[in-house]
Amino acid sequence: MADRRAPTPQQLVARERELVERLRASCRAYSPIVFATSLSVEDMVLTEVICRERLPIGLFTLDTGRLPAETLALIERVERHYDIRITRYAPRPEAVADYVREYGIDGFYDSIAARRACCRVRKLEPLGRALAGQAAWITGLRAAQSVTRVGLAPRAWDAEHGLEKLSPLIDWSEGEVWAFIRAHQVPYNPLHDQGYPSIGCAPCTRAITVGEDIRAGRWWWEQPETRECGLHRRAEHDAPSP
């Protein structure tokens, strides 16, 4: 069950101070460093701190070609709000065409293999391009988000891409995330107010009902233990925080 309890103002201030220091320490330890934002509510917390503190962290997103209109609109809203540019990485058109030819435009519903193939084309290959030449990348992962993320470390070696992977919100609760968003009036995806706690590609995301796990709306036709796109593999080697 997700922890939706709001922290006290004093607790939130302490958590925010800790987050700022985690990000500053990451910048001291690694250069160049980038933040992979999916525009999730967790990622909006990190965007707020990175931009407010003027940290030397590049921002990018994976524009899969199947994102909800609300997510695309939020990208532009965030760029205006913070006066920044978020670099977009899209799948290669020829790879998308090959996928559609083999599986069909929505073939990911038919099998786990077909869904993972789609994620490889639309997410994993663009991610590889985005991380090329970087020393570290930052994610908005939280350990409490799903059964596939329990036990994740705040820092891990991403062997596949050859760089450090940092998750400074790993021990934050859902309540702390939303308290931060409201306290700082941070822009967020309006789909969150329509029952979408976790938002990915439009065909693979649905609203959830009261009592469901917050990741239940992602790839809902699969079992919980397979509901990852491959961006966050568990084969990484844990390491202590910098």
Which of these is catalytic: 27, 201, 204, 229? 229
Which tokens belong to 218? 């992602």
Q: Please calculate the CA angle 14-15-19 and round it to the nearest 5 degrees.
A: 120
DSSP 216: T
27 catalytic, yes or no? no
Instruction: Compute the distance between CA of residue 132 and CA of residue 126 in angstroms, rounded to an integer.
Output: 10
Radius of gyration of the chain, Cα coordinates, nearest whole angstrom: 17
Question: Taking CA 20 as the corner, what is the angle to CA 153 and CA 85, rounded to the nearest 5 degrees?
Answer: 95
Alpha carbons within 13 angstroms on the beta-carbon side of residue 64 total: 21
User: DSSP string spanning 6-58?
Assistant: PPPHHHHHHHHHHHHHHHHHHHHH-SSEEEE----HHHHHHHHHHHHTT-S-E
Residues annotated as part of the active site: 229
